[in-house]
Chain A
Amino acid sequence: MSCCAAGSEGALDIEQAHHRLASSEELWLASRDLGEGLRQTDLSVPAVHCGACITTIEGALKALPVVERARVNLSTKRVSIVWKEEVAGERTDPADLVSAIAATGYEAHLFSTAGEPNDELRNQLIRAVAVSGFASVNIMLLSISVWSGAEAATRDLFHWISALIAAPALIYAGRFFYQSAWHALKHGRTNMDVPIALAITLSYAVSLWETIHHGAHAWFDATVSLLFFLLIGRTLDHLMRDRARSAITGLARLSPRGAMVLTGETGREYRPVDEIRIGDRIAVAAGDRIPVDGTVRSGSSDLDVSIVNGESAPRAVGPGDSLQAGTLSLTGSLVVEASAMARNSFLAEVIALMEAAEGGRARYRRIADRAAQYYSPAVHLLALLTFLGWGFYGGDWKHALLVAITVLIITCPCALGLAVPVVQVVAAGRLFRNGVMVKDGSAMERLAEIDTVVFDKTGTLTVGRPRLVNRGEVDERNLVTAAALGAHSRHPLSAALARFASGPAPALGDVRELPGAGLEAQTAEGVYRLGSRRFACSADDGDAAAEGKSEVVLSRDGCELETFRFEDMLRPGAANAVSTLAAMGHRAAILSGDRPAVVAVLARRLGIARWEGGLTPKEKAESCGRMAGEGHRVLMVGDGINDAPALAAAHVSMAPATAADIGRQAADFVFMHESLRAVPFAIDTARRAGRLIRENFALAIGYNVIAVPIAIAGHVTPLVAAIAMSTSSIVVVANALRLNWLSGAGPEQAGRDVAPGTSEVRLAS
């Protein structure tokens, strides 16, 4: 069992990883209802790599009473869990599932898998590939005996059998091309599928005619193997298609559906958010989200404003402060006076920004589509000219038709149809093995074009979680006391302290939380206070806040016992990634919602010249748009909800797996491992893939340059066509596979990112 990720790399990951586990609310919404009180949740577990991992995770999950079935899929590194909605009358908290996995030392992330596990079209395509593969192999066998010189009667018999096999295969497997071609023609357009549909239909018709008239040449083998190769390309292409994104609906989910409105002196009424008018007073309890923009009338609290600025540090608010919709009140109750309607509130603005930005990205045209735009008219024209040329020149219109059809068969974009998808699938596989998920094939094309990389600060360049800096200096007893106190609060600094709880917790009696200040406990030894220096010792804050560092003070009866200092730490590989990007010739920039002074310190440390701080989500998206306006292609790397509009607005985007749900969905790439070196690695892979795609196009076109004149001259027999088509396809596929062979700067450079599934680890088990 020692081989498992919980060992070598896992230990590091647990320490560093950012266990921002998915909330139970998110999990409920993401789970699928299977009926009969059962639900299914699919989680991504990037660290699984061996049999022991499977046993550990499945064992841990099956030990829970709520779990009906659990199965780890090692290929996709996911676990699907079927769980009961209630056990013994108690509603299940799906967060228990995630924490059960976390307890075994594996990180689990939530992925919205809408329609992914049972992709009907994918299965149809694979079945069509199987059927056309079967047909082409059998027809090819018959053709070979014909080519080797079968006598006339046998040849006719073989042609008839081929015709019988080809017809159903053509209808069953060719329907994708017919449908697509028909669809294009109906709208007065032409696409790659029009010449394909024409070529397979015409070649079948001519072959049948030849067979009926005891002709020597039939093209059934070419027809069906053409279909086979094209379907392989089509299937791979489908696997790389953009998955439907639901980032916007995810964002809308963050806004509460209703709020408690105070009417008159004592009345309380629960109203839907849409019916809240400006001036209404709303009661917000601890743990609630603010429903609409407003101003605090009474009460105080610590507010989680990560949706606005991406920071984990909460903001203390009191009467008179203004609040944005969607932010979360952590510690206290507030009475808020609404200052905007729900549809004009902050959250609605962010949603509108994302809608606008996502529309912009849809305008990108994939390389294959751009190629098809020129390719198919050229092919049609060539075939038509050949037909007319031979007709007028030779006067034999039947022969002219035959030659024109061979031109269509020969030019059929077999290699061209495989050129792009094979490379993208190989590249996506390589990225996946190194912990980067690709959500969309066209994203890889866009990633290869970028020249500027824009980072978010908190959660992207830094881990976004406070870390105790002076762990070695503090007294263990004080730490235990502070941890026990901290467990009573949702404040991130308290939560960070609470992780140090060990052994029996000291008796603390009654613990009170004072919003915006800290925690207080009455004990026999005196009054313990944990919080800001001003609160704990009634002294000044000093300059800790100015330096961008945060501290928590533990005091007894007003005397300082201990100061805990926290700092956000750099994400591993951040400095390395930034310098690698600079070496690759990319400009780097930081766009952050945090205070400018803090951003400046970080930018200096990483050597990034261009930075902006204190940005709202809207300004981030605008800043991305401005760089695009200057002619730059921007890669946005960010994690927060506040980055989502910028992620959608950028040319291409990446998010860590620890990102907020919305950030992950808005991004084109998601990197699973902790290190930021995934960014240069992904860019490098995308570049290589782009180069291979261009090479493949060159090969496919080179093949046409040789083959087309032969076809136009009328020298192409079925044997020549079969050899030419297969060779060109094989060459293109082999070229794409070079991406794996030439992995020079690949996994080594990515260092620790490599999934620990390598041979020496397996030997150790």
Chain B
Amino acid sequence: MNTLVFLIPIALLLGGLGLAAFLWSLKSGQYEDLDGAAWRALNDDDDRPGPQSLHR
């Protein structure tokens, strides 16, 4: 019973972190182009950080 006092908040916190990370990634447009991202990783012509995404 005593361990639950730690474990449950920790579990909820970790789950909440996952949720927050998902909501953030959604907001920053990371699901806009799932196929393109895989190919862009292979592009080597431009080392500078790309322009910001067009999608808000």
Contacts and interface: CB of A to CB of B under 8 A. Distances in A.
B43 A130 contact: no
A182 to B, nearest CB: 27
Interface residues of B, number: 27
B54 A40 contact: yes
Interface of A: 40, 50-51, 54-55, 69, 71-76, 80, 82, 117-118, 123, 126-127, 130-131, 134, 137-138, 141, 153-154, 157, 161, 165
B40 A134 contact: no
A73 B54 CA distance: 10
Interface in B19-47: 19, 22-23, 26, 32-36, 39-40, 42-43, 45
Contacts of B33: 72-76
B12 A75 contact: no
18 contacts: A50-B39, A51-B39, A51-B42, A71-B51, A71-B54, A72-B33, A74-B33, A74-B36, A75-B34, A80-B54, A118-B55, A127-B23, A131-B19, A134-B15, A134-B16, A141-B11, A157-B4, A165-B12
Top 9 closest A-B pairs, CB basis? A51-B39, A74-B36, A74-B35, A73-B33, A134-B19, A80-B54, A75-B35, A69-B51, A75-B33
A54 B43 contact: yes
A552 to B, nearest CB: 45
Q: Which of A55, A71, A72 has the most CB of B within 10 A?
A: A71
B1 A55 contact: no
B51 A54 contact: no
A104 B34 CA distance: 24
Contact of A69 (B35, B39, B54): B54
Contacts of A82: 54
Interface of B: 1, 4, 8, 11-12, 15-16, 18-19, 22-23, 26, 32-36, 39-40, 42-43, 45, 51, 53-56
A72 B15 CA distance: 34
A120 B14 CA distance: 28
Nearest to A42: B54
B56 A118 contact: yes
Contacts of A51: 39-40, 42-43
Nearest to A81: B54
Given A71-B53, A71-B54, A73-B36, A55 B45 contact: yes
Contact of A117 (B4, B23, B55): B55
A126 B32 CA distance: 13
B36 A54 contact: yes
A71 B33 CA distance: 10
Given A51-B43, A153-B1, A134 B18 contact: yes
A154 B4 contact: yes
